[in-house]
């Protein structure tokens, strides 16, 4: 897989930042005083994902780990089945944002064109480029991993993730996704202003290294929506650990595809919403469906 990254000569004064952090001036208010200050804020950029010359999606994301994002998004959105189906990636930076241009092998390109033919037309619902409600909730991949974790492992994983959230420590404005297992500890972490983007970047980073999510905890700093469960299933993660709560649909889909959801995870407590057999010592029961 070939990569290139270059900037198109700007036609306007504004230029897209390649840094994930932007420095701004602030006025700090407190009861004592209101001095001027400097604050590091997370950058947010429009990023287009273009396959063989056709733009499929435009997302707002943090402009870092873009190759990981390209591969992860392509996998979780079903554009490819394996990373090696991407022949090359060109990252082109414009005034308005960044265009990630992916060039697919023949099989993936034919599949992409076929999907595009089925969504072109005036009657589509417009949700993420699909045309029917059934396509909004495809059957998830089944996750069969039987690795088990105790409370100490979950706490250790969360502490490790917190220590590696460098961009969040600087800006206090981004989400993180990480993968942890008992043998290797924290395998990888990716951060982004968008929780979906952070997970896509993690999926891309792991898949590029040939790693799967089995026998590991998938750590999220966000709520667990159905899309996060679907992406976890693509990664093959048997257990999601999140600091916030899941949605009802996420619980039902996780139950269906075999994923354990551990949510509302704190230093001294957490709740198990689905498949509690993987959490040692858990007396939790899945929520009523």
| Catalytic residue ranges | 125
- What does residue 133 show for φ and ψ, rounded to 5 degrees? -65, -30
Nearest to 241 by CA among 166, 147, 173: 147
Separation between Cα atoms, residue 63 and residue 21, nearest integer Å: 9
Q: Give the DSSP letter of residue 53.
A: T
Tokens of 10: 């700007």
Residue 281: Cβ-neighbour burial (10 angstroms; 0-12, 13-18, 19+): exposed
Nearest to 75 by CA among 141, 120, 119, 145: 141
Rounded-to-10 torsion of CA 160, 165, 169, 173: -130
Separation between Cα atoms, residue 255 and residue 131, nearest integer Å: 26
- For β-strands 98-104 and 86-93, DSSP reports them as antiparallel
Q: Give the DSSP letter of residue 168.
A: H
SS3 39: strand
Tokens of 197: 């983007």
Separation between Cα atoms, residue 23 and residue 196, nearest integer Å: 25
Nearest to 192 by CA among 212, 222, 215: 222
Separation between Cα atoms, residue 245 and residue 224, nearest integer Å: 6
């Amino acid at each position: 897989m070939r990569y290139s990254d270059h900037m198109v000569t700007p036609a306007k004064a504004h230029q897209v930042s390649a840094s994930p952090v932007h420095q701004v001036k602030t006025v700090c208010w407190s009861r004592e005083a209101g001095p001027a200050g400097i604050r590091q804020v997370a950058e947010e950029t429009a990023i287009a994902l273009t396959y063989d010359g056709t733009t499929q999606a435009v997302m707002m994301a943090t402009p870092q780990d873009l190759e990981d994002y390209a591969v992860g998004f392509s996998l979780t959105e079903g554009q490819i089945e394996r990373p090696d189906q991407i022949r090359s990636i060109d990252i082109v930076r414009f005034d308005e944002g960044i265009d990630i241009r992916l060039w697919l092998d023949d099989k993936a390109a034919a599949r992409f064109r076929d999907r595009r033919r089925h969504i072109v037309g005036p009657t589509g619902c417009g949700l993420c480029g699909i045309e029917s409600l059934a396509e909004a909730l495809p059957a998830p991949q089944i996750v069969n991993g039987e690795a088990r974790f105790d409370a100490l492992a979950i706490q250790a994983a969360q502490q490790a993730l917190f220590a590696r959230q460098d961009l969040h420590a600087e800006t206090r404005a981004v989400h993180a996704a990480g993968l942890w297992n008992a043998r290797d500890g924290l395998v990888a972490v990716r951060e982004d202003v968008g929780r979906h983007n952070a997970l896509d970047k993690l999926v891309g980073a792991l898949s590029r290294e040939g790693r799967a999510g089995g026998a590991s905890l998938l750590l999220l700093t966000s709520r667990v929506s159905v899309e996060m469960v679907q992406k976890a299933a693509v990664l093959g993660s048997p257990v999601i650990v999140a600091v916030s709560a899941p949605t009802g649909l996420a619980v039902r889909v996780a139950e269906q595809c075999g994923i354990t959801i551990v949510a509302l995870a704190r230093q001294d407590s957490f709740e198990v919403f689905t498949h509690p057999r993987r959490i040692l010592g858990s007396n939790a029961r899945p929520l009523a469906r």
